[in-house]
Amino acid sequence: MSKADNDDISFEQALGELEALVERMESGELSLEESLASFEQGIALTRRCQQALEQAEQKVKILTSNTPDAATEPFDGD
């Protein structure tokens, strides 16, 4: 997967590919060359996920700046 491909996928797709990549690498069945290529791909996917999270955080900051009196609450993911 090239960098351009990484820019076109969603956060969820990138995260899913990263999880699958880690599983393959942890299996111990990849050659050194395959492991290195997988590691490089994993770095690119990690950067894409980080970029998506930073964009989401920026959007939240912009939205909440329009309502400065809005109270914040801790997020309960369950």
Whether residue 73 is contained in a domain is answered as: no
Whether residue 16 is contained in a domain is answered as: yes
In this predicted model, what pLDDT tens digit does every residue of 6-63 receive, in sequence order? Answer: 668 999 999 999 999 999 999 999 999 999 999 999 999 999 999 999 999 998 888 8
d(CA 44, CA 24): 16
Domain that holds residue 16: 3-65
Identify residue 2 by its one-letter amino acid code.
S
Whether residue 12 is contained in a domain is answered as: yes
Whether residue 72 is contained in a domain is answered as: no
Stretch 65-77: mean pLDDT: 72
Cα–Cα distances (Å) from 7 to 29, 31, 48, 57, in that order, read 29, 27, 7, 18
CATH of the domain at 22: 1.10.287.1040
Number of domains the chain contains: 1
Whether residue 74 is contained in a domain is answered as: no
